[in-house]
Amino acid sequence: MSTIVETHDDHGHHGPAKGLTRWLFTTNHKDIGTLYLWFSFLMLFIGGSMAMVIRAELFEPGLQIVQPEFFNQMTTNHGLIMVFGVIMPAFVGLANWMVPMQIGAPDMALPRLNNLSFWLLPMAFGILISTLFMDAGGPNFGWTFYAPLSTTYAPDTVTFFIFSVHIMGASSILGSINIITTILNMRAPGMTLMKMPLFVWSWLITAYLLIAVMPVLAGTVTMMLMDIHFGTSFFNAAGGGDPVLFQHIFWFFGHPEVYIMILPAFGIVSHIIETFSRKPIFGYSSMVYAMTSIAILSFVVWAHHMFTVGMPLAGELFFMYSTMLIAIPTGVKVFNWVATMFKGSISFETPMLFAIAFVSLFTIGGFSGLMLAIVPADFQYHDTYFVVAHFHYVLVPGSLFGIIAGVYYWLPKWTGNMYDETLGKLHFWLSFFSVNLTFFPMHFVGLAGMPRRYPDYALQFADFNAIVSVGAFIFGFTQLLLLFIVIKAIRTGKKASDEVWEDTKDWGLEWTLDSPPPYHSFTVQPEVK
């Protein structure tokens, strides 16, 4: 059911406000999308620098650059920043920019809430990053912050960490409420749910997941707060509690969280492959059902992160089976992307390159995930670099490439200028090469026995660690090229048409608007056949 949106010609044609306050007070979905995207880009470089510190230390055995206490802060904050400060805000930024345009709406349903949702993030990360400069040091217990390392044995700054997590959670929840309300209420007439673009579908599902699990995370950190400051014993055996309870509650959030971090990428990649294969996405309804089943199944697999914790056999088997089940809808999506390319008419612009890399490399990450699901084998993989390889494959050439692909795909629409295609392709090939150089050897180093979160390691792991570090540095510096490309496209470049790519008017409503689009996007509601 969609509500008719009234036009407001009485304002005349107006653009955005002028000056810095435009960005502080904006309620415009495009401006807020831009804020999210720049914020996430900044966080990418901050979290990325932490990765560089980690890889510099791990370049050789021995402690050369940092001591273990700082190394643990780097691994922890690298994880927190990438998960909560890069991937999630970037997808929210893309949602803000594209969802209203793709459904034919002038803006989001709750524009002021939208502004708050964004500005909560710099608050949260200001608090988190400031802890690194405090005497006690920042959080050093891993991004998964298991108790009691994160409760009884945590530095005093843990309370700031908890506060910061609460604020991030609030931002996500408020943003998700906005997205669901927008999608359910403001679609153009004729756009039934099963006619929605797949990116919109992916965000509808992701928003529900966020609302379901961010409160669980809030509960987890609140229980931690109680244990640390108010004498409770949720995670402390001394008072009748259980450290493993922490893990159950955390991963009940944590597993849906990782699907939150990939589903929007699925949506983006579907659009890009469709456009550049010049062929409609294969199996639209299956794609929708697959994303829905992945989301539902994501609630019943959490303990596959805890196979060595001492669970009874029946529990371990259940989680093994449910985790293996998720491979089916995910596989269906991969087959459908390939089937879209099959007998298409394919061109290889930069967004398509990133999308193809996504399909192949995310699939590799999916395979290592399937291997991890096998419980007895997981006894040998758990908490080693094999796991690190798996999640970096699904997050970097997975989610991050999905985001980058979306940026290249829609940037001409946003700025009105084509980005530099040669530089874009250079960025792609350097990223593709270095991402594999960085993360593929990690599979082997993990299988050979190197555990996670180690600042120093035995000599047999040295060669591959050196390779990984070189790859990581190349990858890190290559992203500076992306920064250059984006800034260049904002300022100059070949003018982009409304359609930008070929015949895209058939693929989505966003391509019916000017490039760049008017400030209020659709002031006249479009009709969808």
CB 372 within 8 A of CB 365: no
User: Between residues 308 and 492, which has the closer beta carbon with respect to other proteins?
Assistant: 308
143 catalytic per annotation: yes
Minimum distance, C-beta of residue 324 to other proteins, in the bound complex (Å): 5
User: Between residues 458 and 480, which has the closer beta carbon with respect to other proteins?
Assistant: 458
CB 429 within 8 A of CB 416: no
DSSP code of residue 196: S
To which residue do tokens 């800034």 refer? 487
From the list 55, 305, 382, 392, the catalytic residue is 305
User: Between residues 202 and 236, which has the closer beta carbon with respect to other proteins?
Assistant: 236
From the list 452, 453, 454, 456, the catalytic residue is 452
Minimum distance, C-beta of residue 102 to other proteins, in the bound complex (Å): 19
305 catalytic per annotation: yes
499 catalytic per annotation: no
Minimum distance, C-beta of residue 101 to other proteins, in the bound complex (Å): 23
List 384's β-bridge partners, or say none: 451
78 catalytic per annotation: yes
27 catalytic per annotation: no
CA angle (215 as vertex; 212, 219 as ends), nearest 5: 140
Tokens for 427? 């960025």
CA-nearest of 168, 166, 132 to 47 is: 132
**Residues 6 or more apart in contact with residue 475 via CB below 8 angstroms:** 430, 431, 434, 435, 437, 438
Minimum distance, C-beta of residue 54 to other proteins, in the bound complex (Å): 13
From the list 2, 26, 40, 172, the catalytic residue is 172
Q: DSSP labels for 361-376?
A: HHHHHHHHHHHHHSHH
From the list 2, 157, 171, 323, the catalytic residue is 171
Tokens for 203? 């965000």
Largest interatomic CA distance in the chain: 73
399 catalytic per annotation: no
**φ, ψ (nearest 5 deg) of residue 449:** 120, 10
From the list 29, 55, 97, 107, the catalytic residue is 107
97 catalytic per annotation: no
User: Between residues 119 and 444, which has the closer beta carbon with respect to other proteins?
Assistant: 444
255 catalytic per annotation: yes
User: Between residues 20 and 313, which has the closer beta carbon with respect to other proteins?
Assistant: 313
List 215's β-bridge partners, or say none: none
From the list 270, 275, 277, 521, the catalytic residue is 270
User: Between residues 7 and 64, which has the closer beta carbon with respect to other proteins?
Assistant: 64
CB 385 within 8 A of CB 442: yes
Minimum distance, C-beta of residue 520 to other proteins, in the bound complex (Å): 26
36 catalytic per annotation: no
330 catalytic per annotation: yes
Minimum distance, C-beta of residue 179 to other proteins, in the bound complex (Å): 20
Q: DSSP labels for 439-487?
A: HHHHHHHHHTTPBSS-SS--GGGHHHHHHHHHHHHHHHHHHHHHHHHHH
Please identify every residue annotated as catalytic: 78, 107, 143, 171-172, 255, 257, 259, 270, 304-305, 330, 333, 452
